[in-house]
Structure 1
Amino acid sequence: MEVKDQLNQMQAMMEQLVKMVGHNNAVTEELIQRMDRLEAKVGSLETKMENGFTDVVQMITVLGEKVDKIDATQILHSEMLRKLAADTAQHEAEIILLKRAK
């Protein structure tokens, strides 16, 4: 009887082992699926980050171009004001000379 009891115990232990291996395989498969989903999410986030970085670079480029245009416009306006002031001074001088000539 002792051998039969030992065989029964071994069979019970083997059944437990099979169940544990099956459970471990199921857990492993679930972990693999979770990792696959996480990798997909990380890939999506990387793409969004790269696109966002590209958008920021484009915005900075556009802003830089606008600043350059503002600088050029300010230089032009300064030159126009300088010329206007010079013309005004010239006209005032001519008016004074005309008044004296009368």
Structure 2
Amino acid sequence: MSEQLLSKILGKLESIDTRLSNVENRIGSLEDRMGNVENRIGSLEDRMGNVENRIGSLEDRMGSLEGRMGSLEDRMGSLEGRMGSLEDRIGSLEGRMGNVEEQSGETNQIVKALMHRTEELDAKFDGLLHTVVTKECIAPLATREDIARIAETQELHTQWLRKLSADTTQHELEINRLKVAK
């Protein structure tokens, strides 16, 4: 073989050796970069694990909140039902109050009329007391039955006045109670 050929082969081998050194340097650089990437991926995986844990915790809390919200919605529905019932009862009571007020007005008029009539009867009774005659004077005019009927009428009148007074007091108490309730 000739020297020239050997020299050419040596030149090519040196060129290949240089190129291999460059490739090895590049591979080393790529390995360093790959190590950095792997480190970053490891860090990202750790962070991702933390995020997943936090998401799991948030999902648990969200489930708890949804359960509580469902419970609150149920309670709200129950309260709305009770509120509707109360509104119905209030409407009924308002209707009854209207009837009571109407009856109270009628009762007041009746009581006023009875009071007026009582005053008239008191005046007539007072007038009768002034015109009472003695038994001796009436004896020739009235029979025993007449005197008994007059006494009975006076007793009935007295009982009626007592009852009227008691009824009036009862009506006044009822009116005052209704006014207070109103």
1:51 aligned onto 2:77? no
What is the CA-CA distance between 1:91 and the residue it aligns to? 4.7
1:42 aligned onto 2:62? yes
Higher helix proportion: 1
The aligned counterpart of 1:77 is 97
In the alignment, structure 2 segments of 5+ residues that lack a partner are: 1-19, 125-182
1:36-64 deviation per Cα after TM superposition (whole angstroms, max 9, x unaligned): 12222222222333322333332232222
The aligned counterpart of 2:180 is none
What is the CA-CA distance between 1:79 and the residue it aligns to? 1.5
1:30 aligned onto 2:50? yes
Q: Which structure would you say has the larger RCO, counting Cα contacts within 8 Å and 6 or more residues apart?
A: 2
How many residues in Structure 1 have an aligned counterpart in Structure 2? 101
Q: Distance in 2 between matches of 1:97 and 1:5?
A: 131
In the alignment, structure 1 segments of 5+ residues that lack a partner are: none
Decide which structure has the larger Cα Rg and report it: 2
TM-score, with structure 2 as normaliser: 0.44
What is the CA-CA distance between 1:83 and the residue it aligns to? 2.4
Q: Distance in 2 between matches of 1:58 and 1:27?
A: 46
Selected match of 1:21 from 26, 41, 60 = 41
TM-score, with structure 1 as normaliser: 0.67
Q: Distance in 2 between matches of 1:95 and 1:34?
A: 86
RMSD across aligned C-alpha pairs, in angstroms? 2.7
